[in-house]
Chains A and B, each alone.
Chain A
Amino acid sequence: MAVKLVLRDREYEIRAGMTLLEALRKAGILYESVIATREGEMILEDEILKEGEVIKLIAVISGGAG
């Protein structure tokens, strides 16, 4: 099993044991453009990702509303 990163409707499978920052780089996602959450709690770039985890990524960039 690996770690799953979920950003909107896209999923990325990443090898466990990496830090969040390394995992995001592997997936080609810029750390500055997302907030990562594990079971609803925000986690930081130095967090080690474990087997079977699902990390939900919240996109931070918005360009309009109304």
Chain B
Amino acid sequence: MKCRKCGDKASVNMRQHKLALCKNHFLEWVPEQTERFIRKYKMFKREEKILVAISGGKDSLSLWDILGRLGYQADGLYLGLGIDGGIDYSSESHRMAEKFAQANHLKLHVLDVRREYGRSIPELFEISHRGHGKPCAVCGLVKRHEMNRIARDLGYDVLATGHNLDDEAAVLFGNTLVWNAEYLLRQGPVLAERDGLARKVKPLCRFYEREMTAYALARGIEYIYDECPYAEGSHSISYKEVLNQLESGRPGAKLTFYLRFLEARAGGELFQGANEQLTLLQPCAKCGQPTTAQARCSFCRMIEKSAVPELRLTREGDDQSGKK
């Protein structure tokens, strides 16, 4: 198979685009397309400060790499979750994040959840009993809360995450299976800024996970290859496998599923008049972040239940994000 641009041997074939590219042209194509999506969905402007959520995985490190190459001001944020799983998972992902930041002279903020709140994610799960036998719900709650808090506290204009199309299609698939209108209305490449909530964007949301893996490999980005020890058997992975089965027989099925959803929602074909639901959010009495709860948000209630002495939203004489 030949590269469509130069005729050399192709390294990546994107059947959904009927496009095969050599390594060099693929490494050019991904940032070009990312820039196109940033503009198309009006994610951010060149003068805005971006905080990239860094996990140490292929997507977030590739996103950080791409934004730098495109000339955006992007710093990283790593949350230490305290997950071991017999493979030193959090320590290793932290090492990857630090290594990338140092090699590329980038600023990485680090927050260790245990140091900040006295409990790791598995410990918070044990105490709070949130979720179904796994700490994933607790982990998601903590990440959403802390990333939003730190982005706002440190004055960033926007929080960027490395969600790829497979991530988005899997979430969409899961929410469609149970017709969760509230979540379906919130899903998209951009979640607008509002009182207490930083703008959130997903610049990689139209790249297949396969393409992002190819990008990290071709670019020589070292990332944590092991799965999170709690990810095995998760719904998101099983939905991705189902969608890949569809994709195998019908190239472009995943992309069409996601893009048609975005079009239908933007065109008012879905849940007409239901957008008011988002206005039901109100500030948490403790931390001020928007919540659907009557008084305190889920995060603050969990921290209180975990018997951690004080929810520290500020820390005297120290950068609360663990900024370096």
Contacts and interface: CB of A to CB of B under 8 A. Distances in A.
A30 interface: yes
Interface residues on B, range: 35 or more
Q: Is the interface of B mostly helix, strand, loop or mixed?
A: helix
B70 to A, nearest CB: 23
Interface string A24-66: 0000001111010100011111100000000000111111111
Contacts of A58: 213, 217, 225
Contact of A44 (B1, B57, B224): B1
A65 B224 contact: yes
B237 A61 contact: yes
B228 A60 contact: no
A63 B89 CA distance: 13
Interface residues on A, range: 20 to 34
Contact of B20 (A30, A41, A44): A44
Given A32-B248, A46-B1, A64-B236, 10 more contacts: A35-B217, A37-B217, A42-B12, A60-B212, A61-B240, A62-B57, A64-B228, A64-B230, A64-B231, A65-B56
Interface of B: 1, 10-13, 20, 23, 55-60, 79-81, 83, 89-90, 93, 121, 136, 139, 143, 166, 209-210, 212-214, 217-218, 224-225, 227-228, 230-231, 234, 236-237, 240-241, 244-245, 247-248
14 contacts: A30-B248, A32-B210, A33-B241, A33-B244, A37-B217, A42-B12, A42-B214, A44-B20, A61-B240, A62-B228, A63-B237, A65-B60, A66-B93, A66-B143
